Chain A
Amino acid sequence: MTGPAEPLAGVRVVELADGWAAHCGRILADLGADVVKVEPSSGDSARARPPFIADRPGADRSLWWIALNANKRGVTLDLAHPAGPRVLRRLVERADVLIEAYEPGTLEARGLGADVLSSWNERLIHTSITPYGSDGPLAHAPASDLEVTASSGALALAGEPGQRPLRTTLPQSPFWAGMYGAMGTLFAYLAREASGRGQRVDTSAQASMVTVTPPATVHWDVGHEEHKRLGPFLLGRSIVGARFRNIWRCRDGYVSFAIQGGAIGRHTGKMLLEWMRTRGEPPAVVAQIESDGFDNTTLRQDEVERIEAAIAPFFEGLTKREFFDGVVARNMLGYPVSTVADVEADPQLAARDFWQEVEVPAAGRSVAFPGGFALFDGERPRIHRPAPRLGEHNDEVYVRELAIEARDMEATRMAEAVA
């Protein structure tokens, strides 16, 4: 019987190709599925993605690769080799899920189209994750994180007004696309319980990134107001069009805070005033945010700016840490703009035993990874194994589990340069 934190134990997943698929497989693997990552003989392209351990490139040294492929087994397979499809068939016949990220039409061209795959295994759930989905005018348009983010509307919402739109330095769309790919896969898995048949899950990275653009889409649709990038400011809290500052300078960086309405916003206002008074009487203009009748939705822009100008010096006198401790102690809204170093020092994450030490052979030591994404009956999904070395499980999977014939094993050989 499977434990609560391994709800997908017994589910077999084959993850083919690189790029957009990795995070999808990682999620299913974290939940207990057996995920076999199938790499080309030269290795997955993500192995070449910086940053590297000690900044030295190497097939097992990419921290991007290491993060996205933990908990998977790894095999190599050259699909262009005459025996490649035969070996793939053996993997697919016993699988519940195939995840792939090829340009639409690539598998078909190799005689491995959806019809062929489902003829091998009618229970197979075939999940594809591509920049724009497998149909429509852009089905074949190549794109990386930057272009997908641009196509989703999300890029237009980040940056200073009128200036260059910006993306998060750590690419985000591979995570979004992978997460929705995993969600779609699980819907299909539950549907199979009733129907006995698998289906296609066709995931678009562009559409996945569109999910981060609301409420802007709602303001455009219902309010006929177009949101654009506003640097540190928030729109959409006002019925008179005012914008509110959400990033403020503090002594050693920045904090995130906004003048808010509603019960919790008013509580926050009261607490802020109380806090400010410990360092001297705040300017009179701020006092209105602690009144019971305070309503941020009707505040005019000039009023907002006067209040914000009066609050700013208070935050400039606090460190991130002091601000964080202060908002938690007062149960008010607001958080520091943390670096990853700040995140690692957060006592809440330690108290919940979030971090998990994982041996990373290429680093020669264990490293504390972000732990499982939720607790299931109090148990956190575990990382059982680090990302695989190239072809690490060829013998285990091909020889011991599948007993692939010797003549077909040629298709699983690693390229000499990387082996």
Chain B
Amino acid sequence: MTQVAASPSVRSGAPQALSGIRVVEIGFAAAGPLVGKYLADHGAEVIKLESRRAPDVFRSTYPPFKDNLPGPDRAGMFAFYNVGKRGVTLDLKHPKGLELARALIAKSDVLIESFPAGTMARRGLDHATLSALNPGLVMLSSCNQGQTGPHAQHPGYGSQLTALAGFTHLLGERDENPVILYGPYIDYIAVGYGVIAILAALARRKATGKGCYIDLSQYEAGLQFMAPAILEHRVNGTVPSRGGDHDPVAVPHGVYRARGEDRWVALSVWDDAEWTRFREALDDPEWTRRASWATAAGRRADESKIDALVEQWTATRTRDEIVDALRSRGLRAAPVVTIAELASDPQLVSRGYFRALPHPVLNIVQCLASPFTLSGTPSRQERAGPLLGADNDLVFGKILGIGDEERATLAADGVFV
């Protein structure tokens, strides 16, 4: 197949952190697949097992699609979330398909799965079976609520789990309705912790030879980012709620309208010395000279008044004018970058964060590198997510060593569906 020819069978260049590590991934949407993406970024050979019968929802029900026409190989989401992986199709309900999956996992270091609890066991791919075949296996099960407990089997999407974990309650103007935290926010937290758990388990395996089974509840992972709010309630009995853009320390601290349509700037003033510099940046207008505002307590008492006056100043200036005036005095300020502006953000571009990657159908997909750079073993992104079954020949032929003839027989038997 041309796709196989187009993607080199050996990763190019210098060794990376996970060179020589093979990963099998059976997952869908964001929470499982992005874990595999980060491992691939850093040199692992990541093989994504899929089935044409039940493709990843990011291939089927989530736009955008090339030319707005749905199709498994036309899906932008799949291409973005599965960078650097091999794609194979296998019918796990076919006895031979299950056997091949087990054989592949036996030759791998890591298995990632993100189905509701119990699904893998029903498919004959539970940890006990697999670790008997491969005692060094590091297996990550990432699901909504964890593998045990009364809600273990409850399915869910990240946008709603984000609400369950308490984040959504904290986003909105004071005493107004909450607004959504965009996207599957909590899934991304679980992704980070999932990668960290796998890497730590691989480090321990080097020392002990032992594999590990990681049961990651996306809910529990998300709650790590809520810890101070939880402790506030536990200790003080207060229930933290949304408070607009205010902060308990800095005044002013907020987002203010700048010149232009839907243009905004974020800025904050953290102490009295910064307030003095803030006044200078504004050319010391009359209103900033009020004596009581020279102290944090005085500014706090008149916060809404100050906010309104700051916005009078910002509203007639461009974001760049405002941000330059404040940053040049060592103050914190930034334009509110829109999604349309993000891909050309000079700082992110300068650090090589965006990677334009080839894709046989979408042509070029803008993907992300890792949010950190490694000086010795940099991350690499070479191609967007694979076409469905693109690497069947490579994986089943080269890695599992199944000859052409036998593969043809298996294909005819519906094993690679």
Contacts and interface: CB of A to CB of B under 8 A. Distances in A.
A146 B244 CA distance: 11
A337 B168 contact: yes
Contact of A146 (B18, B62, B231, B245): B245
A67 B151 CA distance: 27
A51 B249 contact: no
Interface residues of B, number: 158
B372 A153 contact: no
B172 A166 contact: yes
Contacts of A201: 372-375
Given A136-B347, A144-B332, A184-B374, A348 B145 contact: yes
A319 B92 CA distance: 41
A146 to B, nearest CB: 5
Given A180-B372, A225-B64, A146 B200 contact: no
A50 to B, nearest CB: 4
A153 B239 contact: no
A211 B367 CA distance: 11
B173 to A, nearest CB: 7
Contacts of B265: 150
Given A154-B182, A213-B342, A215-B77, A194 B244 contact: no
Contact of B337 (A127, A156, A162, A183): A156
B171 interface: yes
Nearest to A186: B199
Contacts of B183: 157, 212-216
Given A135-B350, A215-B77, A349 B220 contact: yes
Interface string B72-85: 00001101110000
Interface string A152-171: 11111111101011111110
Of listed A63, A170, A195, A327, residue having the most chain B CB within 10 A: A170
A interface bracket (residues with beta carbon within 8 Å of B): 35 or more
B196 interface: yes
Interface stretch (B208-216, B284-292, B388-396, B402-410): B208-216
Interface stretch (A232-240, A276-284, A401-409): A232-240
Contacts of B177: 231-232, 247, 249, 254
B160 A213 contact: no
A227 B171 CA distance: 18
Contact of A297 (B61, B170, B257): B61
B154 A190 contact: no
A50 B249 contact: yes
A68 B228 contact: yes
A157 B159 CA distance: 14
A237 B62 contact: yes
B149 interface: yes
B104 to A, nearest CB: 22
B23 to A, nearest CB: 13
Given A184-B372, A210-B353, A236-B62, A169 B242 contact: yes
A31 to B, nearest CB: 5
A370 B196 contact: no
B180 A363 contact: no
Contacts of B150: 328, 347-348, 351
A169 B347 contact: no
B343 A175 contact: no
Contacts of B125: none
A54 interface: yes
Interface string A289-323: 00000001100000000000000000000000000
B234 to A, nearest CB: 5
Nearest to B153: A331
Given A151-B347, A195-B376, A297-B70, A146 B230 contact: no
B231 A264 contact: no
Contact of A204 (B200, B250, B372): B372
Contacts of B368: 210-211, 214, 217
Interface in B214-232: 214-217, 219-221, 223-232
A183 B195 contact: yes
A138 B350 CA distance: 10
Nearest to A225: B64
Nearest to A142: B332
10 contacts: A11-B203, A144-B268, A180-B192, A187-B199, A188-B374, A198-B376, A204-B353, A333-B160, A339-B169, A348-B219
